[in-house]
Amino acid sequence: MKLNMKNLSKLATLSFTSVILFAASSATFAFDYYDDKPLLFTYQNNSGYWFACGPVQCLQAGEGSEELVIDRVTQDWHGPTKWAGNYGKCSAYLGKGELKSWDKQPSRIISLMERKC
């Protein structure tokens, strides 16, 4: 999947951003996120291990459950996560908490994960 970042620079000043992901089959997937709210992606590889990328880190080693990887890439202040949709082999989750200055921004997480999804 490839992320359309054509208008992302225009949206950088806004706190609310829409993201559009394009699949190879030309199907379009979209979801909305806030620049100041946590965003994370999870996926399961062919061997059954779960991986995730979120505000705290992107995992390089797989784990046995999706709940565990979500816990590893978030902190308590990120709040509970809500499923936002499936994109390719990834699931996107939005946090209800807040981001700290040292957390990965949603646009960075999307950039890191677009090849995996």
Domain residue ranges of the chain, discontinuous segments joined by +: 2-113
Q: What is the pLDDT of residue 35?
A: 78
Angle at the Cα of 71 from the Cα atoms of 70 and 72, rounded to 5 degrees? 90
Residue 16 pLDDT > 70: no
**Calpha distance 91→1 (Å, rounded):** 13
Burial, 78: exposed, middle or buried (Cβ in 10 Å; 0-12, 13-18, 19+)?
A: buried
Whether residue 21 is predicted with pLDDT greater than 80 in this model: the reply is no
List the structure tokens of 65: 């459950």
Distance CA 75, CA 66 (A): 15
